[in-house]
Amino acid sequence: MHKQIFVNLPVRDLDRSVRFFGALGYAFDPAFTNENATCMIVGENLFAMLLVEPFFQGFIGERRIADTRTHSEVLVCLSADSREEIDRLVARAIDAGGRAHGEPKDHGFMYGHGFVDPDGHIWELVHMTGVPQS
C-alpha cells in the first residue's frame, strides 16, 4: 500500500500558518518551502502541504477553493499518545490564534478534541485506549 501521505491545504497567509503550526511544535521541510508553499512534518511519513491560495488553485483547475469560514472541505484527524497530549495541543492551538473545535469527547475507549487553525481547517485529535465493546 501507500508509504506516505501529503495532505494539501490552501492558506491565505503562509507566514501566519508557519508561525501558528510552529507554535504547536511542528517542523517544516526547507527543501519543499518557498513563497508559495511549505511542507509541514506531521509525523513519520505524514505531511501537510500548506499552499497559498493562488498556488493551490493551480492544482484544482476550475473548482473553487472552499471558504472555510462557512464550509468544510476536509476533516484532518490525527492520533495522539494520550488525553493529556490532546489537551496540551488544543491549548497551544488556542494560545497561537486558533480556536477549539467543539468540546472534548470521552467515549471510554476513545478520547477526542480538536482545533480550528487560522485558515479554518479542522484538526481532530484522538487517543484510543482499546476497541469499542459491542
Reported as a single tens digit per residue, the pLDDT across 36-89 is: 999 999 999 999 999 999 999 999 999 999 999 899 888 999 999 999 999 999
What is the tally of structural domains in the chain? 1
Closest CA to 9 of 30, 32, 38: 38
Report the CATH number that the domain containing residue 62 is assigned in CATH.
3.10.180.10
21 domain-assigned:
yes
49: left (phi over 0), alpha (psi -120 to 50) or beta: beta
pLDDT digits (tens, 9 = 90+) for 82-131: 999 999 999 999 999 999 999 999 999 999 999 999 999 999 999 998 76
User: 119 is written with which cell numbers?
Assistant: 485558515
32 domain-assigned:
yes
83 domain-assigned:
yes
The boundaries of the domain holding residue 68 are: 5-128
- DSSP-derived letter for residue 30 is G
124 domain-assigned:
yes
User: 74 is written with which cell numbers?
Assistant: 476536509
Going by their DSSP bridges, the two strands 99-100 and 75-79 should be labelled as unpaired
134 domain-assigned:
no
36 domain-assigned:
yes
